[in-house]
């Protein structure tokens, strides 16, 4: 495993159509962004995604995406070359990685790894915080303005905005806990025992 300071991190975020009872969910937007200690933030990508499913009202209320944005959107499968270029060889980052890993099953055997979940990293870094959602963490640590400067004109629940936010949060954890000389593996399996203990109490 490389050291954190030598690694390229690519964050991914999906917004979804929402799952009606008995239906599977479908992605309607994807955002990717990169960060490394050496080169900083950059190489971002965002796209709406074609779906055959209707966007539920509850989902649209969160992210504001409707049929008008999706009319001529590409399919997720058609974006494979773009995803492969950006994610291959990088440590993949997501906040609550379950949704992102599930939607990437569209590419069996894609081999994207290692995965770093900034939700778990944040719980290990700041176990006493009451709210470990991405937005709450960025506000609590004064990071939201930096995210807005990197993704102008967007806000929370835009796929690119949330992907960049997870990298800004990761950058902050690495800096405040002096993790640059640690192996990337330390971010893959953070010690969340203190958070679990506080939850139980």
The CATH number given to whatever domain includes residue 33 is 3.30.420.10
Query: How does 21-54 read in b/e, with b if 16+ C-beta sit within 10 Å?
Result: eeeebbbbbbbbbbbbbeeebeebbbbbbbbeee
CB-CB contact of 190 with 116 (8 Å): no
- Model's pTM, two decimal places? 0.94
Taking the alpha carbons at both ends of the chain, their separation in whole angstroms is 36
Number of domains the chain contains: 1
Distance of alpha carbon 150 from alpha carbon 191, whole angstroms: 30
What is the reported pLDDT for 74? 97
Q: Distance (Å, rounded) from C-alpha 114 to C-alpha 134?
A: 20
Low-confidence ranges of the chain (pLDDT < 70): 22-23
Tell me what pLDDT residue 107 has.
85
pLDDT of residue 22: 64
> What is the residue range of 33's domain?
4-200
Check if the beta carbon of residue 94 is closer than 8 Å to that of residue 100.
yes
Would you state the pLDDT for residue 48?
A: 97
């Amino acid at each position: 495993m490389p050291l954190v300071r030598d690694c390229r991190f690519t964050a991914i975020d999906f917004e979804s159509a929402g799952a009606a009872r008995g239906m599977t969910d479908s992605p309607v937007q994807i955002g990717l962004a990169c960060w490394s200690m050496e080169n900083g933030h950059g190489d971002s990508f965002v796209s709406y995604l074609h779906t055959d499913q209707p966007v539920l009202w509850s989902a649209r209320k969160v992210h504001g995406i409707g049929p008008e944005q999706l009319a001529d959107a590409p399919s997720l499968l058609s974006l494979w070359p773009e995803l492969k270029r950006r994610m291959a060889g990088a440590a993949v980052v997501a906040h609550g990685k379950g949704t992102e890993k599930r939607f990437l099953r569209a590419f069996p055997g894609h081999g994207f790894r290692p995965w770093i979940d900034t939700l778990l990293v944040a719980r290990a870094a700041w176990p006493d915080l009451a709210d470990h959602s991405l937005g709450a963490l960025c506000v609590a640590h004064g990071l939201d303005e930096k995210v807005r400067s990197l993704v102008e004109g967007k806000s929370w629940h835009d796929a690119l905005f949330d992907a960049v936010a997870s990298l800004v949060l990761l950058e902050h954890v690495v800096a405040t806990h002096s993790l640059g000389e640690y192996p990337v593996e330390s971010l893959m399996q953070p010690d969340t025992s203190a958070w679990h203990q506080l939850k139980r109490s």
